[in-house]
Amino acid sequence: MTEIIKTNTERVNQVIENVLQLSRRDPGTPKRIQLKTWLTKLAAELIKHQGFNKHEFHLQIEPAETEIIADAEQLRQIVTNLCNNAKEHGVKDRLKLQIVGGLIKEFDHPVVEVIDNGPGIEPNVAKQIFEPFFTSRNTGTGLGLYIAKELSETNHIRLEYIPGPTGGSCFRLHFDNWQRGSRPA
């Protein structure tokens, strides 16, 4: 009984913290970030502090010197949330997480894709994943992807979900505010 109370208390606390975070949201401090270096450090943090295994990550940014403009802490929250969702909803003990991106021919701006090998998201559920308090599990708060979407918009980043062709999920971040030779605002 004590464990149930503790678990539910932690969930309520998480909901309160998430709601407070939304109400305090500020535009942040956008700056130029070298994507590959920054993502390499983030992956190391996730391995050290979030329980990821180094063999679960594959990181590829081309060209390696690709830069974006964003608030580093808010971008950290976005990518961490996407990685944690992949871990929570993915294939237990066989998680494969790819973070790929850079300057891709089909876009005129940098992108980052967080791709997992999980079961994917059902189409009827995918329509709602960015809505506040929507969750497909009774242990979730339904705020994670909503916060990721809101923080993305604050940073002029477009976040979209793309179903994998054979399962899995891809969340793509479009850095539309980027321009060659641009300077942070």
Tens of pLDDT along the chain (185 residues) come to 787 787 778 767 766 765 666 666 666 789 999 999 999 999 999 988 888 888 888 999 999 999 999 989 889 989 999 998 898 887 777 889 999 999 988 998 999 999 999 889 999 999 999 998 887 776 677 778 998 998 898 889 999 999 988 889 999 999 987 654 443 33
Q: Is residue 78 part of a domain?
A: yes
pLDDT at 11: 65
**Cα dist from 49 to 17, 41, 72, 147, whole Å:** 19, 12, 18, 21
Q: What range defines the domain where residue 52 resides?
A: 32-174
Q: Do 34 and 66 touch, CB atoms closer than 8 A?
A: yes
Q: Is residue 19 part of a domain?
A: no
Q: Is residue 39 part of a domain?
A: yes
- Rounded to whole angstroms, the Cα distance separating 57 from 117 reads 11
Q: Is residue 26 part of a domain?
A: no
Domain count, the chain: 1
Q: Do 58 and 99 touch, CB atoms closer than 8 A?
A: yes
pLDDT at 181: 46
Q: Is the pTM of this model over 0.85?
A: no
Q: Tokens 């305090």 belong to which residue?
A: 24
User: What CATH number is attached to the domain comprising 96?
Assistant: 3.30.565.10
Q: Is residue 162 part of a domain?
A: yes
pLDDT at 38: 97
Q: Is residue 1 part of a domain?
A: no
In degrees, rounded to 5, the angle at the alpha carbon of residue 71 between the alpha carbons of residues 65 and 76 is 80
Q: Is residue 6 part of a domain?
A: no
- Rounded to whole angstroms, the Cα distance separating 4 from 9 reads 8
Phi, psi of 119 (to 5 degrees): -75, -10
Q: Is residue 18 part of a domain?
A: no
Ranges of H-type helices in 55-116: 72-89
- Rounded to whole angstroms, the Cα distance separating 171 from 56 reads 17
Tell me the pLDDT tens digit for each residue of 88-98.
887 777 889 99
Tell me the pLDDT tens digit for each residue of 68-77.
999 898 899 8
pLDDT at 145: 92
pLDDT at 91: 77
Q: Please give the order of strands across the beta sheet that includes 169-174.
A: 57-62, 97-103, 110-116, 169-174, 158-163
